[in-house]
Structure 1
Amino acid sequence: MSIDVLGPLVGRQSQGPTASAAIDEARRQLEICNACRYCEGYCSVFPAMTLHRAFDDGEVTQLANLCHNCRGCYYACQYTEPHEFDLNLPRALAEVRVESWERFIWPNGLAALFQRSGMALAGALFGAIAFMLALAYGLRPESGEGFYAVISHTVMATLFTVASILPLIVIGIGVWSYWRAVGGERVKLKHLHDALIDAGRLKNLSGGAADGCNYEKEDRYTMARRWSHQAVMWGFLMCFAATVSGTVLHYGFGMEAPYGPFSLPKLFGVPGGILMTIGGVGLIALKLRAEKSLGAPAVWGGEMAFVVLLTATALTGLALYWATGTGAVRPLLIVHLGTVLALYLTLPYTKMVHIPFRLAALVRDAQTKRA
């Protein structure tokens, strides 16, 4: 595509008075990309982009949350710096994506704080561990076995039920606000099916190339990021299944923890913790090697702190499992529960929220494909 054709698109103005600078810049770049279409065979962003001739704020936000930041389009682009168009679509969409989470998740100030500050997450972690320590020593149970000799089952169940339900409510309201902003329609089963298949396969992390994406380096195509994400995702789901199975055993069959090595909670939880740890370490290593300027640099510290917190949750859980029956159970249980509590309470305000937002974006994308 010649510069003469693309030239008039440079500096296009916002289509709405409420647009932010990030949305304006992403719109400018999207319009240039839409005219060029060299990257049309890449991730889902580009086929979705071609359905529009202009992009309102909601469409820019939808495309931003559809983007997986694989960065293949940047390395393939002929209009990046030092070209006068100065395109960096991965960064432009990443900044809109983060801004959308901060805008739709209440309260906005907390979202901005935890997204942009690793120290804030560290403070939440230490505060949660201190709280669990005070709880363990201030409300010591008179009787109990295993973990419940440190903190009673009633206290533990009540605390974590509240700590898990409230963040889910906040996230649900935020996703609903996002859905309205991007023009989402009534969800049909086939839309949800398509989105879940896409999310489960993480196909967009292939970057449009059979050998993977070049997230780390221009000439280095690997599946490392896709595999690390899959390990974390499936590991997290297995740990969730372990929690659910433990709850069913406790309340449905009167079988209390600790459970044996061949029980459902252990058969789900141990492999799940191992997968989460391996995937988390992989993501940390990838993030350290990747170019910061191709993401949202302002939130790099917060994103890294979140991945560390997620990995620490799995790692402390595994350590607690191996320490069963020893004197290390009490301190490890306090540290693990504090880590889990910090993870739960900050869920709506960390990068973890990209999961429901991206799933909503995939559902919306499935709607437009089937329209």
Structure 2
Amino acid sequence: MSLDLTLHASGPANAESLSPAMAEAHRQLEICNACRYCEGFCSVFPAMMRQKVFTSGDLNHMANLCHNCRGCYYSCQYTPPHEFALNIPAALAEVRQESWESFIRPRALGRAFQERGFAIALLVMIATGALLWFAMNATANPASQFYQQMAHNLMVAIFAPAFILPLLVIAFGVSDYWRKTGGTWPCMADLKDAFGSVARMRNLAGGHGEGCNFEKKDRYSNARRYAHQAVLYGFLLCFLATSSGTLMHYALGWAAPYGLFSPPKMFGISGGILLVLGSIEMIRLKLKADPALGAQRVWRGEFAFIALLGLTAATGLALYAATGTSLVRPLLALHLGAVLTLFLMMPFTKMVHGFFRLSALIIEAQKRRAKAGN
């Protein structure tokens, strides 16, 4: 199959000014829209085919729909050394990263983490861990239980703002993104479609259901899909552990420590194991993948985020295993420092992609429903 197109990079036909990353994505998507060979691969291509000219809002929307599975790249006849030089995964990854940095403020902090993520995460974790160490009860037995080291109310006073305030920063950013990309008030069908896609990682299964091409190039694999599911469900289980412990403490008057077969422990241990395994697998796959098919400038920041996520879970499991030993106090400081760092840096790490991608999937469900109604 051949395609007779004039190669250009002048941007969209309208007068809207685009950043260099958006202009390059626009050029490539125009060529894709003429070819349409990859139309069944993921949610990006149906979204692309609804129109011929793309605004910055359209480009942001498609970039956040992209899961970087790379199937389109390995199936494309216009990748380098062809003169069109298509690299849709990298082009959309650059726009996607640019969108997070533009909608989440302060923008400079997001860029800094992506460029020096390991150093920033380590410094914040050491600083917060040291502060928490000093906040612990120095008179308590180093081997005593969790809340004997630090009072429950003090822990809530520290961690509640550290969790809520970053969520507010993300909420304002997602709200701006929602307006920019044409989102409206969702109905139950839109939410069901989007959450179902996330639960099954549908866009990492490929149009054929055999997986994506992230780490095996022209061969299909479900490894990345399963690693993402392990991290997602592990995180949700850890969140359930914290939520159930809060409910038991305040609503039922059941104070910690909790037994092995209590909801906080069962959810926390299973979630921690899934998070550790999923993080290790994601790092392994990322080391095997071609960095040229992603946003190369944020490669280190992505590794730093995955490592921080895995470390948070691993220190939590180690803390539980060390119950009754003198390691409780140092492990508690290390674990709480990792958790606090994860919370504080949440808007500026790749963790924010979950909020934007879910929003993109909801908006895409709305757009499909609107088109079907016309």
TM-score, structure 2 length as denominator?
Answer: 0.95
Alignment RMSD: 1.6
- Greater mean deviation of Cα atoms: 156-165 or 211-220: 211-220
- Seen in structure 2, the aligned counterparts of structure 1 residues 26 and 67 have a Cα distance that, compared at 3 Å, is same
Q: For residues 294-330 of structure 1, give each alpha carbon's deviation from its aligned partner in whole angstroms, at most 9, with x where no partner exists.
A: 0000000000000000000111111111111111111
Structure 2 runs not aligned, ≥5 long = none
Give the alignment of 1:38-49 within 5 angstroms. Answer: 38-49=37-48
Task: Tell me, yes or no, if the aligned pair for 1:215 and 1:290 is still in contact at 8 Å.
Answer: yes
Task: Tell me, yes or no, if the aligned pair for 1:117 and 1:299 is still in contact at 8 Å.
Answer: no
Q: Does 1:128 align with 2:128?
A: yes
Task: Tell me, yes or no, if the aligned pair for 1:16 and 1:57 is still in contact at 8 Å.
Answer: no
Counterpart of 2:50?
51
Counterpart of 1:36?
35
Instruction: Report the CA distance between 1:12 and its aligned residue.
Output: 3.6
Could you list the runs of 4 or more consecutive aligned residues of structure 1 that deviate by over 3 angstroms after TM superposition? 14-18, 139-145
Task: Tell me, yes or no, if the aligned pair for 2:140 and 2:149 is still in contact at 8 Å.
Answer: no
Match for residue 10 of structure 1 among 8, 11, 15:
8
1:124 aligned counterpart, secondary structure: helix
Task: Tell me, yes or no, if the aligned pair for 1:140 and 1:152 is still in contact at 8 Å.
Answer: no
Instruction: Report the CA distance between 1:246 and its aligned residue.
Output: 0.3
1:3 aligned counterpart, secondary structure: coil
Structure 1 runs not aligned, ≥5 long = none
- Greater mean deviation of Cα atoms: 22-31 or 108-117: 108-117
Task: Tell me, yes or no, if the aligned pair for 1:105 and 1:170 is still in contact at 8 Å.
Answer: yes
- Seen in structure 2, the aligned counterparts of structure 1 residues 349 and 141 have a Cα distance that, compared at 3 Å, is farther
1:117 aligned counterpart, secondary structure: helix
Task: Tell me, yes or no, if the aligned pair for 1:16 and 1:56 is still in contact at 8 Å.
Answer: no
Instruction: Report the CA distance between 1:142 and its aligned residue.
Output: 7.0
- Seen in structure 2, the aligned counterparts of structure 1 residues 143 and 323 have a Cα distance that, compared at 3 Å, is closer
Counterpart of 2:267?
268
Counterpart of 2:355?
356
Task: Tell me, yes or no, if the aligned pair for 2:66 and 2:92 is still in contact at 8 Å.
Answer: yes
2: CA distance, partners of 1:194 / 1:239: 25
2: CA distance, partners of 1:132 / 1:287: 33
Counterpart of 2:208?
209
Counterpart of 1:339?
338
2: CA distance, partners of 1:134 / 1:16: 58
Counterpart of 1:254?
253
TM-score, structure 1 length as denominator?
Answer: 0.96
Instruction: Report the CA distance between 1:192 and its aligned residue.
Output: 1.1
2: CA distance, partners of 1:366 / 1:127: 43
1: CA distance, partners of 2:73 / 2:133: 48
Task: Tell me, yes or no, if the aligned pair for 1:206 and 1:223 is still in contact at 8 Å.
Answer: yes
2: CA distance, partners of 1:365 / 1:192: 11
Question: Percent sequence identity over matched residues?
Answer: 54
Give the alignment of 1:92-241 within 5 angstroms. Answer: 92-118=91-117, 119-136=119-136, 140=138, 146-241=145-240
Counterpart of 1:85?
84
> How many residues are paired up?
367
Instruction: Report the CA distance between 1:152 and its aligned residue.
Output: 1.2
1:244 aligned counterpart, secondary structure: helix
Counterpart of 2:365?
366
Counterpart of 2:299?
300
1: CA distance, partners of 2:58 / 2:362: 14
Task: Tell me, yes or no, if the aligned pair for 2:227 and 2:278 is still in contact at 8 Å.
Answer: yes
Instruction: Report the CA distance between 1:253 and its aligned residue.
Output: 1.6
